[in-house]
């Protein structure tokens, strides 16, 4: 079998890998749950290639992510649920339907108008999904809550943002950043109290509350907490590498370096940023 630019070849390859008699033993034994972590990992690797502005890696990582889509679709096809064609049909239908200002007649000619139209169309799609669940014998009340549409498998920071955004739509939100800052100070005080009493479970809970409040602040000042933290992580990597190189150039072992020595180099690393 030869490589190809066409999706049909990838679908054929996956079918061959999943063949119970002649396929790959590892691929054959996988299921949705076992593959799920790889799907999440591949999405992160796509994001990493974008972060590094490495288009060569991005091409490879997008292929790996596409493989995950084909893998899940193949397993669903084997279960008689849907196939890759159904996945493509569902997303093309959704995109055409959600963009009538592009593919049909629409009065939405401003970014705000498009956003309002988008929400109206999503509401219609949610109603249709409820009907489909009823048709397949599933209880739509399982997803009846306002927050139930937020996937629990999201990274925690992303989940927090989406939960807050959902709650804000019905008015459960602060009007600006000032009261959020007050809330952060309140959470810091509660965390200090928990630490003082040595209550480990309470410390974990209060720490989570503090992070949630910080995410809320980011949302109010239009800063993506995930991207902000990634930026800080990159900065930490860069500065720590400076420390390692400086110590190595001086013939010093980092394992023997004192905190004061490393703090001094950290200050010099900051000056280079």
- 170 neighbors 146 (Cβ within 8 angstroms): yes
Q: 34 and 15, same structural domain?
A: yes
Q: 231 and 215, same structural domain?
A: no
Mean pLDDT of the chain: 90
Q: What is the pLDDT of residue 140?
A: 56
Q: What is the pLDDT of residue 110?
A: 81
Q: 189 and 116, same structural domain?
A: no
The distance of Cα 109 from the centroid of its chain, to the nearest Å, equals 30
* Two tokens, residue 235: 């900065």
Torsion angle (degrees, nearest 10) of CA 102, 105, 106, 110: 40
Q: What is the pLDDT of residue 256?
A: 95
Residues 177-225: tens digit of each pLDDT: 999 999 999 999 999 999 999 988 899 999 999 999 999 999 999 999 9
Q: What is the pLDDT of residue 259?
A: 96
Q: What percent of the chain has pLDDT over 70?
A: 94
Q: Which of 94-98, 237-241, 247-251 has the lowest mean pLDDT?
A: 94-98
Q: Which of 56-60, 119-123, 260-264 has the lowest mean pLDDT?
A: 119-123
The average pLDDT across 142-154 equals: 73
* Predicted confidence (pLDDT) at residue 117 exceeds the cutoff of 70: yes
Tokens 């139930």, residue located: 148
Q: What is the pLDDT of residue 139?
A: 61
The three-point CA angle 57-34-20 to 5° equals: 100
* Predicted confidence (pLDDT) at residue 143 exceeds the cutoff of 80: no
- 39 neighbors 70 (Cβ within 8 angstroms): no
Residues 1-46: tens digit of each pLDDT: 888 999 999 999 999 999 999 999 999 999 999 999 899 889 989 9
* CA dist., res. 55 & res. 63, Å (int): 12
Q: Per-residue DSSP letters for 66-118?
A: HHHHHHHHHHHHHTTS--HHHHHHHHHHHHHHH-HHHHS--S--SHHHHHHHH
Among 113, 148, 183, which residue terminates a domain?
Answer: 148
Q: What is the pLDDT of residue 138?
A: 67
Q: 70 and 122, same structural domain?
A: yes
Range of the domain at 207: 156-223
* Total domains, the chain: 3
Q: 45 and 102, same structural domain?
A: yes
């Amino acid at each position: 079998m030869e490589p190809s630019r066409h999706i049909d070849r990838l679908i054929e390859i996956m079918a061959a890998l999943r063949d119970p008699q002649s396929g790959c033993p590892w691929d054959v034994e996988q299921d949705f749950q076992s593959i799920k972590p790889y799907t999440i990992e591949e999405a992160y690797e796509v994001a990493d290639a974008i972060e590094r502005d490495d288009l060569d890696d991005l091409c490879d990582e997008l292929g790996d992510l596409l493989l995950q889509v084909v893998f899940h679709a193949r397993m669903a096809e084997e279960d008689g649920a849907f196939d890759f064609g159904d996945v493509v049909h569902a997303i093309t239908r959704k995109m055409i339907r959600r963009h009538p200002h592009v593919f049909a007649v629409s009065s939405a000619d401003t970014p705000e108008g498009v956003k309002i139209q988008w929400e109206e169309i999503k509401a219609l799609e949610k109603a249709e999904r409820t009907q489909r669940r009823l048709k397949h014998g599933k209880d739509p009340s399982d997803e009846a809550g306002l927050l139930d549409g937020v996937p629990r498998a999201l990274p925690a920071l992303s989940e927090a943002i989406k939960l807050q955004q959902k709650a804000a739509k019905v008015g459960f939100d602060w009007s600006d950043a000032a009261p959020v800052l007050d809330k952060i100070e309140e959470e810091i005080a509660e965390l200090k109290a928990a630490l003082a009493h040595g209550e480990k479970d309470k410390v974990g809970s209060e720490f989570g509350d503090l992070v949630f409040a910080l995410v809320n602040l980011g949302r109010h000042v239009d800063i993506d907490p995930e991207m902000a933290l990634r930026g800080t992580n990159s900065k930490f990597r860069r500065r720590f590498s400076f420390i390692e190189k400086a110590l190595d150039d001086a013939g010093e072992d980092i394992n023997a370096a004192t905190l004061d020595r490393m703090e001094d180099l950290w200050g010099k690393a900051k000056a280079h940023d």
